Amino acid sequence: MDTSAIILAAGDGKRMKSSKPKVLMEVLSEPMLGWVLDSAEKAGIENIGVVIGSGAELVSDYLNKRGEYKTFLQTERKGTAHAVMQAAEIYNNAENVLVLCGDAPFMDAETISAALAFHKASGSSVTVITAKIDNPTGYGRIVRGADGELLSIVEQKDCTPEQAQIKEINSGAYWFKGKALAEALPKVTPLNASGELYLTDTVSIIREMGCRAGAFTAENPEIVLGANSRKNLLDLNTRARMNIIEKHLDNGVEFPCTDGIIIGKDVVIGQDTVILPNTIIGGKTLIGKGCRIGPNSLIENCTIGDNNQLNNVQAFDSVTENNVKAGPFVQLRPNTHLHEGVKIGDFVELKNAEIGINTCVAHLTYLGDCTVGRGVNFGCGCVTANYDGINKYHINVGDYAFIGCNTNLVAPVNVGENATTGAGSTITRDVPPDSLVIERAETRVIENWEKNKQHKKK
């Protein structure tokens, strides 16, 4: 296999003070490990192994939900070289193998691909991905020779005063030739201040083997950033949030104010769309042109057409076509599909509902498990009674039907085209097209009724 990857995800992150392992701490609602996996996969690497340790069961559960990954357990924390050794199955069968840190979410696919191209072109047996930063404290320093070739990586605690002044640092990501890595790892010894087996030592070992060591300097210095504390995690979230907002600004999206706005890294937004404060957009969401989203909206894994107005809307795994208007205080639960021109009023909840072109659902209404035609009007307070406590049933409403206020549609039931239900009706059987149906109890008037009779006797 030409390229494979090993992702180091065994750290416990004690300073996070969390029951979750560090790699599952989230940046913009996605675990840091997920960011790293996404970058590796976008770079075209299909064979990925993950070294797990602390919280192994939690990490494995997360990986299983994403796809198929090989996992390798590091039972003792003996350093990064020791961690890589657990994944011998990966590097023994790969021409080139990438090693990444599972808690460095800003390592991007472009850097990975460019570093591989450099690695191959230079004929290096190891290529370290580096970055230049103003304050390198805490990072391993890159020591180069006169010709620019990489000589070694020296950890902060082992630096001489002169080495501590170097600005170029190790990102913790490497490209290795698989055979060179397999030969070098057994030669790593704990000759350092911490007594651990450092992967960085493989650089000097590979050079001693007579092979070339290279260093690729990334254009994006943020690839080195990770998180060891909640404060670090807040910094990552802040950077990621503003980086994404700036990307959308460059693409013609408008933000009158960025307060409370969080947009996931996989969200696509069309030009001239306005995102208002306190709006969160995540998952694989696609938003069209000329929309107005917010304020106070939450959109996840949705496809939103052009010229939508979603005011104070929560929408999940749903589709809204062009020129839809919804809100305020609307919830679109999974599998809701609003066709073009639909209008949804305040305090409406929809679930597994297909709503036809130009249909209007007023306010204080619940529609679940239903298919509604075009041009239908729902009055205030309508409900689809789709669940009998054991099973859920479907409801169909034909084109141009008029559903009067406070109508209950008890599933399974069909309302024909151009039919009308009288206000306050509970519909329990099919309604023919072009008909009026009224289902109400006979009116009874009891005179001289004392509502608070018992209270008055005291």
Kindly report, residue by residue over 233-278, the tens digit of the pLDDT.
999 999 999 999 999 999 999 999 999 999 999 999 999 999 999 9
Q: Count of CB atoms within 10 A of residue 371's CB?
A: 16
Is the dihedral angle over the CA atoms 128, 134, 138, 143 positive or is it negative? positive
Q: Count of CB atoms within 10 A of residue 284's CB?
A: 13
Kindly report, residue by residue over 41-76, the tens digit of the pLDDT.
999 999 999 999 989 999 999 999 999 999 999 998
Model confidence at 451, pLDDT cuts 50, 70, 90, reads: low
- Residue 441 φ then ψ, to 5°: -70, 150
| Domains defined along the chain, listed by start | 3-224 (3.90.550.10), 247-437 (2.160.10.10)
Amino acid at 402: F
What does the alpha-carbon distance between residue 385 and residue 369 come to, in Å, rounded to a whole number? 9
Q: Are strands 383-385 and 360-361 parallel, antiparallel or unpaired?
A: unpaired
Residue 392: the pLDDT is 93
Kindly report, residue by residue over 194-213, the tens digit of the pLDDT.
678 989 899 999 999 999 99
What does the alpha-carbon distance between residue 268 and residue 257 come to, in Å, rounded to a whole number? 19
Is 394 an annotated catalytic residue?
Answer: no
Nearest of 44, 48, 21 to residue 32 by alpha carbon: 21
> Is this structure's pTM higher than 0.85?
yes
Mean pLDDT score across all residues of the chain: 94
What does the alpha-carbon distance between residue 441 and residue 229 come to, in Å, rounded to a whole number? 64
β partners of residue 42: none
What does the alpha-carbon distance between residue 227 and residue 207 come to, in Å, rounded to a whole number? 31
Q: Of residues 248, 337, 363, 455, which has the active-site annotation?
A: 363
Q: Are 396 and 379 in contact (CB under 8 A)?
A: no
Please enumerate in sequence order all residues whose Cβ is within 8 A of that of 239, keeping only pairs 6 or more positions apart, or say none: 106, 222, 225
